[in-house]
Structure 1
């Protein structure tokens, strides 16, 4: 079974993003500690339950996956599995596991371990939100022999093979599977990765140490043995300017979440900026079509034409970011460039509203049947401030065509409940994933259903791609879904999410994976013994 391959532009993005921080040169040596300043506490040290970007980055270092998505080629390669077969209907997947891989407690990564993990993930249910979507329709895993396992689904699951490369389906030891879900979050898990959890102090730091004897990196990783570093220290530093200050002073070797306002500052200090667009849903506005003001699609279509994406990027962001050209970002499998539909045209937006019966009121805001066109937009905090700044600019753009926008910040902890309640006309956000099935997970009743999708061509396309084993036919359904999301006014994409990292010039070998998360097994620091 082949996979959808990114466009040439997407591959170019991927290649440009890999090998971050190679500036240290041949003077770099093994050993020492690398300090990484991250934006938020991971909250959960179980990769199967973790959800935030920082949590996934922290967890990735001590958990491995069955497969590896190569960001250079867009193809799957081996990791804990050396090869696999998938039936044409995408209901059965057989994995052949490598010899010698073990969890850090010494137990083998064998077929029974894979079965135990997938069975356990299903039992976790809503606690493993992302993994649950990847395992939709899961029936059972069959141990064929100690090195061969067959994973079976009751219905086609076209995105499962790609999902086996994610941290969410990373494998943990039986001893961790036996622990309560809350304990796994608080105390961490036993994985098979190149680092081990040494200490976790909530809201302060996570310390990991090298696992001696590790020898099964994916083929794209230069280092074929144990990590070069002795330790990784992830310091939780919510304030962007403080993170950059730590990098400038040498108290941190890498910082995540470098904001557009700080990129020039980092460069002026002689430090390195490395950026890569994230795959998945772009940042944008999604429309709750169950709400009366937007139900017929006219208002969303008008907003689509009124939003000036280039102005948002040029005003709020930096050259590391790009205006959205679809609901999916360019590095995502199955991405289609629909940028021609997303050029700003306020005159066209005005015409759409007028034709739909929305006329200017006394204050310039549009009115229809005595009802003012005022829309509630939800967005999540805390963040780098980009959401609020972007939405405030979009608020100004929409005011010019007579659409009033009320911004309502919402704590991240309330995100799931907000989706369930549907107390919004519009909602801002994005979701990272390399596979286009993220569209089904986000927009349909099988997932978050942010837009309150009902029966129709869009729902049909989203469900059809999820069960299509033929890559070419699946690509057609993914392309159709992207077109319908824009044309019918379900989604209003704005800009591509981008991971921007600041690095000391002494650091070499920081790698982006296909999901734009950082991997540190290749990292060395200049100078004898590191830091």
Structure 2
């Protein structure tokens, strides 16, 4: 209890500040936008790699999204896929061929032109060079990739050996952003050193792994997304990202005017931010909720009854009310409620500790002398691997630990630094792993739970689920695909592959001098329209 109280003290009990809305850019009335100036941004964690294709964490994507353009964009308000580097496209009825007509006149920051060959080299590099853990998301988007044909200098035809209906939305992500030949020719590790060359509105001026990144405005940029609020070059001259892990230090720097924007503003920071004229901007993340993913090959979690009992044993409302605050939501399915294809399964996720106890009783797990259940001499105990990519992870899991103990389950917390966390994930060296995954498309379920995805469950085939995950790739009909995504969420819970806890929200502290800071469709920041009035 002492450790939990310490964590809650760091996060405070309940957020009393009213949220600024669901991602709508909010600012004081400062007149028309003015170009110029340097925006100073405080990251809560260090970027893991400067290459957009290898970006995974939100803090990394806040940086890498700015230097790379994508073939398409996704409207955050409607979810519609809109033109960007591709001015038009055609998708074959069987979703195996995608033909993109590129915008003429686009150049990378080294002066070379965007061509269909650029698209070919980018996708080839992801599949053939950035293998394994280097670009997990990008590779999953290119599942079944058979090659890219250059039909003419500005027409690229991307082929798959099986249907891949999610690919069009995937082309809007930074992971499939288009980089110059000089970058795609580099090995994976060298693409993480800040030398990446994109066609985006900003370029790398300086990059210091684990410490800072500085971006400079790209002069002559005229090919922005149709979703952007203006055309032409970005307003900001520079963006300086500094890594400041301590929330209190970030907030103090924002309030004193040393920083203009900070990541992961916490509840106790709200009053200080408001007192200095600042505000919070909040948006919920689409994708897979935060949850516990059990390794089906280790310990008590091999027992389906144990996994089933964990669902009603967790009081999700208490997690939000006690640890996070009203800008967060309880998980009501495997997918977050903002995700296309989400279905409300909240009736299956209600808090019912007596039900959890009954399930464990029937499965032969009986309380031991210390209250922890035992079966055949084995304690009902398992570890959960997690990182501090989200500031609330420790406190959430400590409260879950207490909740599970009341039904006779011993949850051991295994926090890990990013490098260790990634390495253990890759080796499948854990009883369970805790994380979330952001994407504005229901295909994120295939990435997280498919046999051809991350498969952190280390599971064998489950025919019903595998058929549904395969099926959603085979139809471009929105309603049919949503129905399959909905069925997948039910089957994932049926098989105990995910124990949902909460939905993630991005909470950004913004000073009064910043206008038009926006979230894109996947809840990552887009600085193209941002401007300063100091």
Q: Structure 2-normalised TM-score?
A: 0.92
Report how far residue 61 of structure 1 moved: 0.8
Stretch deviating more after TM superposition (457-466 or 89-98) = 457-466
8 Å CA contact 1:21–1:503 kept in 2: the answer is: no
Shift of 1:384: 4.8
Give the corresponding residue for 2:443: 437
Asked if the contact 2:451/2:461 (under 8 Å) is kept, the reply is no
Where does residue 504 of structure 2 map in the other structure?
497
**1:365, 1:204 → 2: CA distance?**
44
Q: Does 1:95 pair with 2:118?
A: no
Aligned mates of 1:258, 1:332 — CA distance in 2: 24
Alignment check: 8 A CA contact 2:53 2:135 kept: yes
Describe the SS at the equivalent of 1:414.
helix
Alpha carbons of structure 1 residues 182 and 288: separation in structure 2 relative to 1, 3 Å: closer
1:358-410 Cα distance to aligned partner (Å, 9 max, x none): 22222222122232211222212x44541111111011111111111111112
CA contact under 8 A between 2:290 and 2:434: conserved in structure 1?
Answer: yes
What are the within-5 Å matches in structure 2 for residues 175-214 of structure 1?
A: 175-214=182-221
Is this contact kept in 1: 2:283–2:507, CA < 8 A? yes
Q: Is the 8 A contact 1:27 1:526 kept in 2?
A: no
Q: What are the Cα deviations for residues 187-221 of structure 1, in whole angstroms up to 9, with x where unaligned? A: 32111111111112333321111111111111221
- The match for 1:424 is 430
Q: 1:8-23 alignment to 2 at 5 Å?
A: 16-23=21-28
Deviations 1:342-363 (CA, angstroms, capped at 9, x unpaired)? 1111111111111112222222
CA contact (8 A) 1:102 1:192 kept: yes
Which shifted more, 21-30 or 70-79?
21-30
- Shift of residue 467, structure 1, vs aligned partner: 3.1
Shift of 1:170: 0.5
Q: Residues 289 and 204 from structure 1, CA distance in 2 versus in 1: closer, same or farther, beyond 3 angstroms?
A: closer
The equivalences for 1:69-468 within 5 A come to 69-124=74-129, 125-126=131-132, 127-380=134-387, 382-456=388-462, 457-468=464-475
**Which deviates more from structure 2 when the two are superposed, residues 150-159 or residues 469-478?**
469-478
Of residues 91-100 and 444-453 in structure 1, the stretch that sits farther from structure 2 once superposed is 444-453
Distance between the aligned counterparts of 1:119 and 1:384, measured in 2?
33
Alpha-carbon displacement from aligned partner over 1:108-141 (angstroms, at most 9, x marks no partner): 2121211121122222223322211111111111
Matched, 1:33 2:41: no
Matched, 1:483 2:490: yes
Listed as ranges, the gaps of 5+ residues in structure 2 are 1-19
Partner of 2:6: none
1:518 matched residue in structure 2: 525
For 2:244 and 2:265, how far apart are their aligned partners in 1? 12
Inter-partner Cα distance in structure 2 for 1:501 and 1:233? 16
Q: 1:54 aligns with which of 50, 59, 70?
A: 59
The DSSP-based 3-state class of the residue aligned with 2:147 is: strand
Q: Hey, what's the Cα distance between the residues in 2 that align with 1:233 and 1:173?
A: 23
Deviation at 1:72, TM superposition (A): 0.7
Q: Residue 136 of structure 2 contacts residue 454 of structure 2 at CA under 8 Å; is this kept in 1?
A: no
Q: Is the 8 A contact 1:23 1:508 kept in 2?
A: yes
**RMSD, aligned α-carbons:** 1.8
Per-residue CA deviation, residues 210-251 of structure 1 (Å, 9 max, x unaligned), is 111111111221120101111111111111111111101111
SS in 1 for 2:481: helix
What SS does the aligned partner of 1:58 have?
Answer: helix
1: CA distance, partners of 2:305 / 2:274: 45
Alpha-carbon separation, structure 2, partners of 1:131 and 1:411: 23
Residues 83 and 226 in structure 2, CA contact (< 8 A), matched pair in contact too:
yes
**Alignment check: 8 A CA contact 1:210 1:230 kept:** yes
What stretches of structure 1 move > 6 A for 4+ residues in a row?
Answer: none
Contact 1:453–1:459 (8 Å) recurs in 2: no
> Any idea what SS the aligned residue of 1:451 has?
coil
For the 8 Å contact 2:23–2:282, the answer to whether it is kept is: no
Matched residues in 2 for 1:502 and 1:292: separation? 42
Deviation at 1:292, TM superposition (A): 4.2
1:420, CA displacement in angstroms? 4.0
Query: Can you give the 5+ residue segments of structure 1 that lack an aligned partner in the other structure?
Result: 1-14
Using the size of structure 1 for normalisation, the TM-score is 0.93
Number of matched pairs:
512
Q: Which residue of 1 aligns with 2:5?
A: none
- Name whichever of 29-38 and 98-107 sits farther off: 98-107
Rounded to whole Å, the distance in 1 between the matches of 2:211 and 2:297 is 42
SS of the aligned residue for 1:468 comes to: coil
Task: Give the Cα separation in 1 of the matches to 2:35 and 2:426.
Answer: 49
Contact persistence 1:88–1:470 (CA under 8 A): no
3-state DSSP of counterpart to 2:386: strand
State the Cα distance separating 1:27 from its structure 2 match: 6.2
CA pair 179-24 structure 1, distance change in 2 beyond 3 A: farther
